[in-house]
Amino acid sequence: MDGGQRLDKWLFFCRFFKSRALAANVVESGEARLNGHAVTKPAHTVRPGDRVRFPAGPYVRTVEVLAPGTRRGPATEARELYRDLGKERAPGE
């Protein structure tokens, strides 16, 4: 792997979603953005330095990819995969 990883898998490894299927559903719905562009393919590759924006509950989160994951480990390990750039209330919430 050239430092990249599938978007759905990365979101799951970072513990933003309880299952990879939930992460894939958010991506397929068109609600996720990668570097400002809408993505609809869960297999889209993310690499260190990319910015990912996605809905998470009543918020929209923006994070920067720091590293691909190798497994869905504990939260302390997951936090090393991204840098939180903030969250804001989702429209209509």
Number of Cβ atoms within 10 Å of the Cβ of 79: 13
Nearest to 68 by CA among 88, 56, 52: 52
Enter the tokens of residue 21: 């299927």
Nearest to 57 by CA among 25, 85, 93, 30: 93
Which residue has tokens 């990879």? 20
Kind and range of the H or E element at 30?
A: none
This model's pTM is above 0.85: yes
User: Domains (ranges, CATH) in the chain?
Assistant: 5-89 (3.10.290.10)
Q: What is the pLDDT along the chain (93 residues), one digit of tens a residue?
A: 467 899 999 999 999 999 999 999 999 999 999 999 999 999 999 999 999 999 988 999 999 999 999 999 999 999 999 999 988 887 765
